[in-house]
Chain A
Amino acid sequence: MGEAIVVTSGKGGVGKTTTSANLGTALALHGKKVCMVDTDIGLRNLDVVMGLENRIIYDLIDVAEGRCRLNQALVKDKRFDELYMLPAAQTKDKHDVSPEQVRDMVLELKKDYDFVIIDCPAGIEQGFRNAVAGADRAIVVTTPENAAVRDADRIIGLLEQSHIPALLVINRIRQSMVKSGEMLDIDEICQVLAIDLLGIVPDDEKVIKAANSGEPTVMDPSSRAAIAYRNIARRILGDKVPLMQLDDKAGMLQRFRKFLGIG
């Protein structure tokens, strides 16, 4: 029996889909059997980020309405043998499937897969209720902005009511802005949200490039975000990995300058 993890945030655009795609891929890199479920019906993105859009035949709504079996709707990843995706429908909307139906699908997937990663839509309505219905635990993604933290707080409150334990991922951190006090720092966010931190992901242009080319960032080890996502996957698997040092990279040259007294 595997584990179902929902990736959620409340606010849109903070990186739920990116996190889902990268986490799923990173777990597959570790040789785990992973199935990703896109519950953002009507606005599906996960397939685009994974570069699997052209392989979709059936979708989640087809399964819910009995037009196909669950296995038929799963799309196999082109890079890994044990990575699958259940795409959302693009033509329907979130009210065409019920939380019970999603829960049944997730339960069935859990029998065959080590991890079921559920990509949740933004918002707290039906789409959210669908996504969390079958989840064993949650990853709450936020960015260092007040609005995102506020929404994450709301989501954590709702998850607590559903008794789903939540872990925090802080995405798109710009260390230079944090240092100058223009961006919330990690401690501040953790203090407000008061849940355990699963990982931090630095802002990285390679993530955008990767999403556009349909190749998850984790595949490129030269990207800092990739390392961050790999760390997150290892922590989910139970490894103890220290938090990433965010200001190391710009280090060498700056340290040298500092040494000379001009930095």
Chain B
Amino acid sequence: MTEKQHITIKGVKEGLVFLLDDKCEFSQLLDELHYKLDTSHQQLLTGPLVHVHVKLGQRQASEEQKEQIVNTIRKRGNLLVQSVEAEPAVGEAAAKDELKMLTGIIRSGQTIEHTGHLLLMGDLNPGGTLLCTGDIYVLGSLRGMAHAGIGGRTDVIIAASQLKPTQLRIADVISRPPDEWITGDTLMEFAFLQDGQMKIDKLSGLFRIRRDPIVFKGV
């Protein structure tokens, strides 16, 4: 093996950790695994029973591929595969900011939980719950309980065509309309946090707290 090594074997307290490269071809990885197990690391891999943890890095391996890896390692009688894990992919981290569209009515007693931003095409009825790590947008009436930023994000908003909630929560801040705030008109409004307090504003005022660069064409 003259080229770059794709497999690193580390000894830890629990046993051995196989760190597999996540960029190379899967077949290449498998070949190298065979090679290492059968020839180069003989002395290391014989002896008493050893627990093995396989770390795939960011590789999105299929169940079948995982199976292949496990079988290869298992050929050595003394190696016991405990886990095959992949790190959460970059794509998943990006999904946190992705907008999901959902059509339907969330009725009393129903709960929707979502990671990322959520656009609900329909109503959220009293007694219904909407939990979201990101923003919540409701194209319809928001009459139930909406909680944006359940992971603790404070820069998120809750917007609705008609904002008449039983309760709103953003991160740890809980607000109870109409005791705490009431606006005459409930159409096209959004809730946001400012200095740790929940505020309500017309949707047209959203550009004041977050503004996307818009490139205007023409004159």
Contact = CB atoms under 8 A, between A and B. Distances in A.
A156 B107 contact: yes
Interface in B67-105: 105
Interface in B185-210: none
Contacts of B108: 150-151, 153-154, 157
A191 B127 CA distance: 15
A157 B109 contact: yes
Contacts of A150: 108, 126-127
A157 B141 contact: no
Interface string B105-127: 10111100000000000010111
B143 interface: yes
Nearest to A149: B126
A192 B143 CA distance: 9
A157 B110 contact: yes
Contacts of B143: 192
Contact of B123 (A146, A151, A158, A194): A194
Interface in B114-154: 123, 125-127, 141, 143
Interface in A138-171: 146, 150-151, 153-154, 156-158, 160
Interface residues of B, number: 11
Nearest to A146: B126
Contacts of B123: 192, 194
Contacts of A154: 107-109, 127
Contacts of B127: 150, 153-154
A150 B145 CA distance: 14
Contacts, number: 29
Nearest to B140: A194
- The B contact surface, by secondary structure, is loop
- The A contact surface, by secondary structure, is helix
Contacts of A153: 107-108, 125-127
B147 to A, nearest CB: 19
A251 to B, nearest CB: 34
A243 B110 CA distance: 31
A157 B110 CA distance: 8
A220 B110 CA distance: 42
A160 B125 CA distance: 15
Interface centre among B110, B125, B126, B143 (most CB of A within 10 A): B125
Contacts of A192: 123, 125-126, 141, 143
Interface centre among B105, B108, B123 (most CB of A within 10 A): B108
Contacts of A191: 141
B36 to A, nearest CB: 52
Contacts of B109: 154, 157-158
A156 B109 CA distance: 11
Contacts of A157: 107-110
Nearest to B110: A157
Contacts of B105: 194
B109 to A, nearest CB: 5
Nearest to B126: A150
A8 to B, nearest CB: 14
Interface centre among A153, A154, A157 (most CB of B within 10 A): A153
Nearest to A191: B141
A170 B28 CA distance: 69
B30 to A, nearest CB: 45
B110 to A, nearest CB: 5
Nearest to A157: B107
A64 B206 CA distance: 62
Nearest to B109: A154
A30 to B, nearest CB: 33
A103 B143 CA distance: 36
Given A154-B109, A194-B123, 13 more contacts: A150-B108, A150-B127, A153-B108, A153-B125, A153-B127, A157-B108, A157-B109, A157-B110, A158-B109, A192-B125, A192-B126, A192-B143, A194-B105
Interface of B: 105, 107-110, 123, 125-127, 141, 143
10 contacts: A150-B108, A150-B127, A153-B125, A153-B126, A154-B127, A157-B109, A158-B109, A191-B141, A192-B126, A192-B143
